[in-house]
Amino acid sequence: MNNASSTYELIERYLNGELTAAEKAAFEKRMEEEPAFREEVTLHRSFQDFITDENALALRRAMAEEEARLPRSGGRILSINRRLLAVAASIVLVVSIGYYFFRPVTTARDLFDRNFAPYQMILSSRSGAGTDTLQNAAINRYQQADYERSAAAWSQLIQKDTNNMAAYFYRGICNLVLRKNQEAREDFARSSAHESSLFSQQAHWYTALSWLQEGRKKQACSYLTPYRDQEYKNEEINELLKSICP
């Protein structure tokens, strides 16, 4: 058992009231003396509060679904006087800075369009039967930009091997093209589940793009910020963060 694992287990036993009196006393003394440890315990407690409240989780999901159905009604509403003021200001702006007035607002969707391109196919077709034939079909459909059928073939491959990271990743790209953003995010999360995965950095990039395609800059910002130092698309990530983080 490694260090992190044993610390996690110790904290869980404390939170579940499973420590002996002596262990509990030592644990609480450590919390008093080590602020970082105290912080860690707070984090675990928050996690347990979150994960054990199943109705709260279901409520958040139900609200997210309702929100997805709401029509987008745009930004702030200006009152009449402020609107007149805005018109007057606009005229001044048109006269004084011309071009700049007409610069388009960069929406999340613009940023998505500017940054998104399906990931290149790095797998090669193989001669063989069964799984190989299926993988060849998935690859060929992908290269022909037939993303719906390619996704179906990747799904069959996943059914045969639930640890096929490449299949999750490329199905994620297909889902992103098909605007199935939530499904795409789930696929990218699976494809980057292991640090050693060939596609984890790419998956971070495309997950952020899925939020942008949904028009949600804030989520894209908060998701992508921890990965600002990664190698893949490093320059693009930092450029994008400048546009989406307040």
Name the site residues for other proteins (rule: CB under 8 A).
4-5, 8, 39, 43-44, 46-63, 65-67, 70, 72-77, 79, 162, 185-186, 189-190, 193, 207, 216, 218-219, 222-223, 225-226
Number of H helices, E strands in the chain: 13, 0
Residue nearer to other proteins on the CB measure, 66 or 129: 66
Least separation in angstroms between residue 229's CB and other proteins is 11
Closest to other proteins by CB, 92 or 193: 193
Minimum distance from CB of 140 to other proteins (Å)? Answer: 27
Determine the residue type at 142: Y
Indicate the helix (H) or strand (E) that contains 81: helix 80-97
Nearer to other proteins, 137 or 167 (CB): 167
Q: Least distance from C-beta 84 to other proteins, angstroms? A: 16
Shortest Å distance, C-beta 39 to other proteins: 7
Q: How far apart are CA 16 and CA 10, in angstroms?
A: 10
Write out 190-208 in H/E/C secondary structure. HHCCCCCCCCHHHHHHHHH
Residue 139, classified by CB atoms within 10 Å of its CB into exposed (0-12), middle (13-18) or buried (19+), is buried
Question: 50 or 101: whose CB is closer to other proteins?
Answer: 50
Burial of residue 244 (number of CB atoms within 10 Å: 0-12, 13-18, 19+): buried
Min. distance of Cβ 87 from other proteins in angstroms?
Answer: 18
Pair 184, 175: CB distance under 8 Å: yes
Euclidean distance between CA atoms 14 and 105, whole angstroms: 52
Q: Name which of 64 and 94 has its Cβ closer to other proteins.
A: 64
Nearer to other proteins, 68 or 122 (CB): 68
CB of 159 to other proteins, least distance (A): 13
Spell out the alpha helix ranges (H) of 129-244.
131-143, 147-160, 165-177, 181-191, 200-213, 217-224, 234-244
